[in-house]
Amino acid sequence: MDVLESLVGLQRELERRLNEQAATPEEARRANTKLREEMRQRNNYFPSLEEEASSLLKAIGQTEGPLSTHQITDIASHLGFTLHNVSDLPHSTRSVTDLKNKRIYLTQSSRSEFSTRSVLLQAFGHQVLGHQTPKDYAEFLRQRVSTNYFAAALMMPEKATVDFLQRAKEAREIAVEDIRDAFAVSYETAAHRFTNLATEHLGIPVHFQKVHESGIIHKAYENDGVNFPQDHIGAIEGQSVCRYWTSREVFNVPDQFSAFNQYTDTIAGTFWCTARTERSTSGRFSLSIGVPYVHVKWFRGRDTTERSTSTCPDPSCCRRPPHDLQQEWAGQAWPSARAQTHLLAAMPQGAFPGVDETEVYAFLHHHAQIK
């Protein structure tokens, strides 16, 4: 009997460990929620990452202006790496770092969705920040966020960016597109960087969203009290945002070249938001930055006459069909929903989720033979 009980105990422990190792979507959402809470508590500002980026820029003599290709090459040399553009980069990767031979491989494809500069700076970040192979998804996510932050701090150095923003605040002309243009980065990168510095240096609480044209939130951050939709564990990503928020309304605007600005009255207060749309292989996304009404005086676009009201999460706001449509079609429609397989499947296994390690190792072995 003792032997049987021991075997049953071992079996249960084995099942427990296997369950722990299977990174489910819920585990990923929990890790993301925990990390976002830490970011909120810090106002999305991480001094240690700013210092690392500043030290590296000083080492190559970079003081102001956008980071040039030549300066990025200088960073690689300073860190002891050589850069290699290849046409056969493993399809599941954005870059591959050969730690043995001190090489960083990047794709030559012009169709890459990722800025080569940003991807390369993130690869530098893993080395400068001393990252080790992640033990779980939470650590993988934390490393990804840290390297993204580090890369942004290299492209938009703290001092230069804060000086730029303070001048814009004094002129009451803060605009994300101006940050984008001044530092030659994407709108999304500029928006993320603004959230790093807005509260710490300008005293402005803020929120950010990246929303798919279907209404699903892909990325979000807030420290201004805006009422993002959440699931039972507090996760925001994957939730559907209110139809009347700026991040949804922008898809209906004919002028897709200019920023769309709107005031929205919500149950958490009135917010002003500015948004743009961008297209990718996954469809169109909106990128929006918002602030409480009291802080809109510092922003360009505050004179907008666009205004909406949102009572979400009240279902009568935008979840239920209008009464006339409900009366006509209730019980007469049977839609077939697309299977959201990502909600059912486990997260990709391995130390680096989504990466085919066999393919990566074979790639490195092949290129190591090429001198």
From the list 299, 200, 211, 297, the residue with the least C-alpha distance to 250 is 211
Predicted local confidence at residue 371, as pLDDT: 61
Per-residue pLDDT at 2: 58
- Ramachandran angles phi, psi of 61, nearest 5°: 80, 20
Amino acid 29: pLDDT: 80
What CA–CA distance (Å, rounded) separates 63 from 157? 9
Q: Say how far apart CA 198 and CA 45 lie, in whole Å.
A: 9
Average pLDDT per consecutive 10 residues, the chain (371 residues; last block may be shorter): 58 58 67 92 97 95 83 94 89 88 82 71 94 88 95 96 98 97 94 98 98 92 95 87 96 90 97 95 92 98 97 89 76 63 49 63 74 61
Dist CA 174 CA 44 (whole Å): 19
| Phi, psi angles (nearest 5°) of residue 25 | -55, -35
Q: pLDDT value at position 344? A: 46
Reading the block at residue 146, the tokens are 């840290």
Element (H, E) at 11: helix 2-21
* CATH number for the segment(s) 24-155: 1.10.10.2910
Residue spans in the chain of domains classed CATH 1.10.10.2910: 24-155
pLDDT at 21 (0 to 100): 46
Q: pTM higher than 0.75, yes or no? A: yes
Q: Are 133 and 355 in contact (CB under 8 A)?
A: no
